[in-house]
Structure 1
Amino acid sequence: MREVNRFSEMAVFVQVIESCGFSAAGRRLDMTPSAISKFVQRLETRLGVRLLNRTTRKLQLTPEGAAFYERCVRILEDIADAEREATHGAIPQGRVRINSHVPFGKHHLMPLVPEFQRRYPDITLDIVLSDAAAGPLDDRSDIAIRSGSLDDSRLVMRRLGGSRMIVVGSPAYLELNGMPATPDDLDRHNCIGLSGNAKAWPFAATEGQRLLQWGGNLLLGDNESIREAAVSGLGLARLARFHVDADLDAGRLVPVLEAFNPGDEEEINAVFVGPSEHLPMRVHALLEFLKERIRIGPRAAGDRSDAPMLGARAVVTRLR
């Protein structure tokens, strides 16, 4: 009974927030405003923390209240999901929160949103595009799309593909400084790198692979800023193809030293709190859709196999 009361408190609290007040929540739940207020007070007392700042004109979530609200929404959706999945003919529905770094989200994820929504009209996508290294345990996402390996044993990684690395420069920069013919020519060029990373790039050589130190006067904290700097003609950059696909197609950037490209990739992975067989139906539906529709792989210059499958446009729900 105690657990049931906890769920009732969560449901009332969520309704208060989504209704923007005790009176409106009471009308939706067929309860008096005073009863709603007592539910919230009892919840705050049990938790030992203030969830709402109350004034005569409005309610405002405290930081603790905002975090608790998001968790409550997820818990209540999971309960509803479990009840739906227990019935025959259940269909995926509810909210799925997905976090992706900005370039991949803009160029590969967002174009797939219209098809996903046509296939699963009862699923609400909550999409956050951010270059911060946040995972499912950091911002309570159901799925995070990230590159590289995992450093948290509580998470599961599902490979979606790999995007080949490429050195690029703007036509204006190359006209002014010349097109390098071999990796050794980079000592006469300005290269743009990622802060905290080694100032060296790999290149194919007769003996296999050669790591070449480069010089440059610009280090940036994220790949999108590096891309923008390269487009602006500030130097050469080495990025995964998915970061620069649109720029290559539009002629804002051109490939450099492709004859010496070693063919290494930046892996793109879906990261979630596993195991996958225990995921809610709505999350599992999105994960399987991404595995099916995102086709990323190595390609030669001019090959469009790294491109999104669809060209439809969609609105980003949040960009930070």
Structure 2
Amino acid sequence: MSRLDVNRSGEMEVFVRVVQLGGFSAAARAYRMTPSAVSKLVARLEARLGVRLVHRSTRALQLTPEGVTFYERSVRVLAELDEAERGAATSAAPQGRLRVNASVPFGTQVLLPLVPEFLARYPSVCLDIVLTDTVIDLMEERTDVAIRHGPLKSSDLVARKLGEPRMLVIGSPAYLKRHGTPKTPRDLERHNLIGFGFARTVDGWPFVDQGRELTVTPHGNTLVSNGEALRQLVLSGLGLGRLATFQVKEDIAAGRLVPLLEEYNPGDRDTVHAVFLGAGGQLPSRVRAFLDFLVEKVHL
């Protein structure tokens, strides 16, 4: 029989309790077992070790010299196991490598500015940050936390919601001066609409016009792979774009970008989640600390 087939810590625990309580019957009551079951367990332990641990009698239980030695070492081993489990489950100081995946806009405008504060709070954590708008497989990429935009698909991932930023159609003053400001969604047919070169949950730009829903598909001369590239092109005056408020609010406040067609905006939002593998009680402390930090600090 291999060691993997034997619950050695369980045997130790029962044996220690037999010694501490002074007999098989008392230990059996503590574990809700029969005295016979406890006696057989100790007998199996003795057979495996090849030594007698206790002298049995109807009146008292007496340890052999080998039993005294095994009892003392078992107490130390069980104490160390308890300490190891407490340390793994509730480490007071999160530490180790934490791999995080985020979209380029969220990473550059939300996550990276928060990194110094997080590492000041948890100096023993090493962040490994990957920015890409490509949806990755967390298991395959060995990623602890990923930031996902839009509706979540059914999966084994667990999610914590970070916010629901509104989506805006935006353009630069320079572009609008050259090409005019669209007054209705139908005016967008005459404009250069910059889109994404990958499939999205919502590919078109949704609007509501006189109570009717309509979608305008971007038909410009440029496609991009991430939201930050789209923002830069819109800032350059190449065309119009549609982005989340957290990506463009500073540009709007500074006058570098102008929100368009707000009266036709249906109020659709880009829901943002932090997703991860494993239930909350099974998370390493560094992952739990990072998720709690995001929920506390991210305001979209």
Give TM class, smaller chain: 0.5 to 0.7
Give, in angstroms, the shift of residue 240 of structure 1.
Answer: 1.4
Letter paired with 1:267? T
Larger Rg belongs to: 2
Letter paired with 2:256? R
Cα pair distance change 1:219/1:91, threshold 3 Å: closer
Are 2:276 and 1:294 equivalent residues in the alignment? no
1:166-221 C-alpha deviation (Å, 9 max, x unpaired)? 00111111010111112121122111112255763211233253323554222233
Q: Which residue of 1 aligns with 2:283?
A: 279
Identical amino acids, percent of aligned pairs: 49
Q: Which residue of 2 aligns with 1:167?
A: 169
Distance 1:184 1:131 in 2: 29
Distance 1:161 1:86 in 2: 29
Contact kept in structure 2, 1:159 and 1:269, CA below 8 Å = yes
Farther-moved stretch of structure 1 (152-161 vs 171-180): 152-161
Among 247, 251, 260, the alignment partner of 1:247 is 251
Among 214, 220, 230, the alignment partner of 1:216 is 220
Give, in angstroms, the shift of residue 101 of structure 1.
Answer: 1.2
Contact kept in structure 2, 1:99 and 1:135, CA below 8 Å = no
Q: Which aligned segments of 4 or more residues in structure 1 are displaced greater than 4 angstroms?
A: 80-83, 196-199
Distance 2:3 2:256 in 1: 62
Letter paired with 1:190? N
Number of residue pairs aligned between Structure 1 and Structure 2: 219
Cα pair distance change 1:294/1:196, threshold 3 Å: closer
1:212-255 C-alpha deviation (Å, 9 max, x unpaired)? 35542222333222222211211111111223234323333211
1:118-167 C-alpha deviation (Å, 9 max, x unpaired)? 32222222222223322422321110112123446221122111111100
Distance 1:86 1:277 in 2: 8
Give, in angstroms, the shift of residue 82 of structure 1.
Answer: 5.4
Correspondences of 1:1-320 after superposition (within 5 Å) = 84-85=87-88, 90-151=92-153, 153-197=155-199, 200-207=204-211, 209-213=213-217, 215-296=219-300
TM-score normalised by the chain length of structure 1: 0.61
Cα pair distance change 1:128/1:215, threshold 3 Å: closer
Gaps of 5+ in 1: 4-79, 297-320
Letter paired with 2:142? R
Please give the secondary structure, in 2, of the residue aligned with 1:136: coil
Contact kept in structure 1, 2:168 and 2:244, CA below 8 Å = yes
Distance 1:81 1:115 in 2: 30
Letter paired with 1:223? G
